């Protein structure tokens, strides 16, 4: 709305002020800035709309509204499900989702009694094309599946989507659904055997695809990294925002007041854009550590950035951070190792000058190694820096809430948080000393209560 008001003011300015020929360059520059503001606003709004579209898909499939889920796709869309193959068109996609979700092909929409089909759409990385007419996104799906008194299971997948804007409406054009596993609750993911998810599913046998898969891969417990749509760029557009700029003192004339208004609008938009960029940055970090890509994850930190995990101490600088990350396993992980750190529930605050930011995240953790499954949970309180328009980690600090055995759960057999490594020692000791569950640890909030404005009283 502010940009519209500013545009109207620009149109009226020559007729209602002492606009002089000498101001023509300022006037033209202001018009150019206004066009850039409009373009950037459209890009930020596109990211919001694409995120909303992906999340809507999850809420529809949760309850068996597979027709509504299929309506999110273009008429000629394609959907690759795991290693089964590619299904084309809304009708085929609807039936595919119905069969995998346990819905009825003949009866009214919805799920039968006792069916659970929760497919949470998490951790989006959204990139929008320069023309604003197409976009791509990477999602994590975490599934809680089952049938009352018969079976319960887990699902895990990575999704790579391409979107198009048709008639002003964003739609899914292609979806590559890289199913990592679907496994019974009993035994969990750690009990899976090699090759379990590599063949065609029962759905594909009864409902053959229209074309073979565009990517053949080996599912967990074997190792596979679904291709990143943002790979190959040293500075992915997903992380971009506006570089910090120094405040300019504008003249007190009518044109100067509009220039100052444009300055304020640009800064407000830049901070909004930065929130989206920081969401992408954190999501990228999660995807990299999922697959043991320590070098790629460390490259997301600033030169003076620091990494602190639990009570393991502080690692400073990308090279040292890469060493610290490697404590989670070998580069690329090993067969049977699951290292999923789900990034969820962000609260992000960008500084008034768009130079720094802080954020709190929740991470629920699914691990396995050497045939043993583990649960985990914790909270990130991170700081970020705007490096010439690219957001990077300044401080990443993961506070461990609990570790627990998969079979016995977190309540029956919680594991203690580990101290600093003696083989890969940190650069500094832990910044705070604490114990994980069953002890209660309150991680300080970087923000005040959003309504009362009061800071948290502490532990």
Full-model pTM: 0.92
* Residue listed under structure tokens 């709004």: 45
In the chain, ranges of CATH 3.10.450.50 domains: 47-206, 237-415
Task: Write the pLDDT tens digit of every residue in 258-300.
Answer: 889 988 999 999 999 999 999 999 999 999 999 999 999 999 9
Rounded to whole angstroms, how far apart are CA atoms 158 and 170?
21
pLDDT at 14: 55
Longest dimension (CA), the chain: 81
Q: How far is CA 207 from CA 100, 118, 215, 350, in A?
A: 11, 22, 19, 49
Q: How far is CA 97 from CA 117, 145, 209, 370, in A?
A: 11, 14, 13, 34
Second-level CATH architecture of 47-206: Roll (3.10)
Task: Write the pLDDT tens digit of every residue in 237-264.
Answer: 556 677 888 888 988 888 888 889 988 9
On the question of pLDDT at 9 being above 80, the answer is no
- CA 98, 218, 126, 445 torsion-angle sign: positive
Q: Give 320-336 as a DSSP string.
A: HHHHHHGGG-STT--TT
Q: Would you give the DSSP letter of residue 428?
A: B
More confident of the two residues 5 and 217: 217
73: left (phi over 0), alpha (psi -120 to 50) or beta: beta
- Enumerate the β-bridge partners of residue 151: 147
Tokens of 361: 């995240």
- Which H or E element spans position 58? helix 24-62
More confident of the two residues 4 and 123: 123
Please tell me the number of Cα atoms within 13 Å of 420 on its side-chain side.
16
Task: Write the pLDDT tens digit of every residue in 398-412.
Answer: 999 999 999 999 898
Average pLDDT of the segment spanning 206-217: 95
pLDDT at 236: 53
Average pLDDT of the segment spanning 433-445: 92
Q: Mean pLDDT lowest for which of 111-115, 122-126, 193-197, 417-421?
A: 193-197
With a CB cutoff of 8 Å and minimum separation 6, the contacts of 205 are: none
Angle at 443 between CA 441 and CA 449, to 5 degrees: 125
Rounded to whole angstroms, how far apart are CA atoms 121 and 51?
10
On the question of pLDDT at 107 being above 90, the answer is no
Instruction: Label residue 270 exposed, middle or buried (CB < 10 Å: 0-12, 13-18, 19+).
Output: buried
pLDDT at 248: 87
Task: Write the pLDDT tens digit of every residue in 139-190.
Answer: 999 999 999 999 999 999 999 999 999 999 999 999 999 999 999 999 999 9
pLDDT interval class at 21 (50, 70, 90)? low
pLDDT at 1: 47
Q: Would you give the DSSP letter of residue 18?
A: -
pLDDT at 241: 75
pLDDT interval class at 86 (50, 70, 90)? very high
Cβ-contact 400, 378 below 8 angstroms? yes
pLDDT at 156: 97
Rounded to whole angstroms, how far apart are CA atoms 381 and 24?
48
pLDDT at 16: 47
Tokens of 95: 């039936």
Average pLDDT of the segment spanning 299-320: 97
pLDDT at 15: 45
Q: What is the CATH number of domain 237-415?
A: 3.10.450.50
Task: Write the pLDDT tens digit of every residue in 47-69.
Answer: 999 999 999 999 999 999 999 99
Task: Write the pLDDT tens digit of every residue in 343-356.
Answer: 999 999 999 999 99
Q: How far is CA 295 from CA 183, 282, 339, 456, in A?
A: 31, 15, 16, 37
Average pLDDT of the segment spanning 387-393: 94
pLDDT at 237: 55
């Amino acid at each position: 709305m502010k940009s519209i008001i500013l545009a109207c003011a620009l149109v009226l300015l020559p007729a209602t002020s002492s606009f002089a020929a000498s101001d023509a360059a300022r006037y033209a520059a202001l018009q150019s800035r206004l066009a850039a503001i409009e373009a950037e606003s459209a890009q930020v709004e596109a990211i919001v709309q694409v995120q909303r579209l992906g999340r809507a898909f999850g809420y529809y499939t949760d309850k068996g509204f597979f027709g509504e889920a299929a309506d999110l796709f273009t008429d000629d869309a394609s959907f690759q499900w795991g290693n089964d193959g590619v299904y084309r068109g809304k009708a085929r996609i609807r039936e595919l989702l119905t069969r995998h979700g346990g819905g009825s092909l003949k009866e009214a929409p919805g799920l039968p009694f006792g069916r659970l089909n929760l497919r949470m759409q998490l951790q989006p990385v959204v990139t929008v094309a320069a023309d604003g007419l197409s976009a791509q996104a990477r999602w994590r799906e975490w599934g809680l599946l089952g049938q009352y008194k018969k079976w319960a299971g887990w699902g895990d997948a990575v999704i790579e989507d391409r979107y198009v804007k048709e008639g002003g409406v964003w739609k899914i054009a292609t979806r590559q659904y890289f199913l990592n596993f679907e496994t019974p609750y009993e035994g969990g993911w750690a009990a899976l055997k090699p090759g379990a998810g590599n063949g065609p599913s029962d759905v594909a046998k009864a409902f053959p695809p229209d074309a073979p898969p565009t990517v053949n891969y080996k599912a967990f417990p074997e190792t596979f990294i679904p291709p990143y749509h943002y790979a190959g760029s040293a500075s992915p557009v997903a992380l971009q925002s506006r570089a910090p700029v120094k405040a300019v003192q504008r003249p007190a004339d009518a044109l100067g007041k509009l220039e100052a208004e444009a300055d304020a609008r640009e800064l407000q938009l830049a901070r909004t854009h930065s929130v989206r960029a920081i969401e992408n940055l954190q999501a990228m970090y999660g995807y990299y550590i999922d697959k043991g890509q320590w070098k790629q994850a460390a490259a997301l930190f600033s030169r003076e950035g620091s990494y602190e995990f639990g009570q393991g101490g502080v690692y400073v600088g990308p090279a040292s951070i890469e060493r610290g990350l490697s404590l989670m396993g070998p580069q690329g992980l090993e067969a049977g190792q699951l290292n999923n750190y789900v990034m969820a529930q962000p609260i992000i605050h960008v500084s008034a000058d768009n130079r720094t930011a802080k954020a709190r995240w929740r991470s629920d953790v699914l691990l396995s190694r050497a045939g043993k499954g583990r649960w985990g949970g914790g909270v990130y309180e991170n700081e970020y820096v705007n490096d010439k328009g690219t957001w990077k980690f300044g401080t990443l600090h993961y506070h461990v809430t609990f570790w627990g055995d998969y079979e016995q759960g977190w309540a029956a057999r919680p594991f203690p948080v580990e101290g600093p490594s003696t083989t890969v020692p940190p650069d500094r000791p832990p910044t705070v000393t604490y114990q994980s569950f069953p002890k209660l640890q309150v991680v300080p909030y970087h923000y005040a209560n959003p309504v009362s404005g009061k800071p948290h009283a502490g532990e």
